[in-house]
Structure formats: C-alpha cells, structure tokens
Amino acid sequence: MEQKINELISKLRAENTSVSEQKARVWIELLWSDFESTYAKAGYDYRGAEMTEKIILQWIESYGAQLHEFAGRNPKYAHLLDEVE
C-alpha cells in the first residue's frame, strides 16, 4: 500500500506544484481514510484498496490543482495541514 500512496503523492505533486511532499502525503492519507470510512458508513461493501486508489486518482485529476484552496475553507482538514510544513 505504501507504493500506491507514494504514486498518488507523485501524481498530486505533478498536478499541484504548490503542495510540498509532506502535505501531499497528509492529503492522500486523509482522502484515503475519509473515503473508506464514508463508504463504510454508507453501508457499502468494502471493494478494496484498488477502488480507493481509483477514486483518489480521479479526485487528483479533477481537483488536484485546487486542493490547497479547499483546505483553507474546510476546518476538518485545515488544522491537520497547518501542522505540516
């Protein structure tokens, strides 16, 4: 799984050059856990890490360049990302 996360970090940084490697890692880990927990709370069966990776990759491709702007408006993530320099 670490390899998948590292690949997603690289893709995010390619889409958004204003995000450091550490912040990209935090973003990917937050998105990963948030997607899986939300999916489970909705009552869906777990479809594996491949499904989560596919969804996060779609988010990176669609929103990666603006991801840092989202953090400032969402307190759920902002305080976690402020801790990372």
What local confidence, expressed as pLDDT, does residue 52 receive? 93
pTM score above 0.85: no
pLDDT beneath 50: ranges in the chain: none
What local confidence, expressed as pLDDT, does residue 41 receive? 87
Asked if 19 and 27 count as a contact pair (C-beta separation under 8 A), the reply is: yes
The structure tokens listed for 20 are 């450091």
What local confidence, expressed as pLDDT, does residue 75 receive? 72
Distances (CA, A) of 4 to 1, 25, 29: 5, 11, 11
What local confidence, expressed as pLDDT, does residue 39 receive? 85
pLDDT digits (tens, 9 = 90+) for 28-49: 998 899 899 888 888 888 888 9
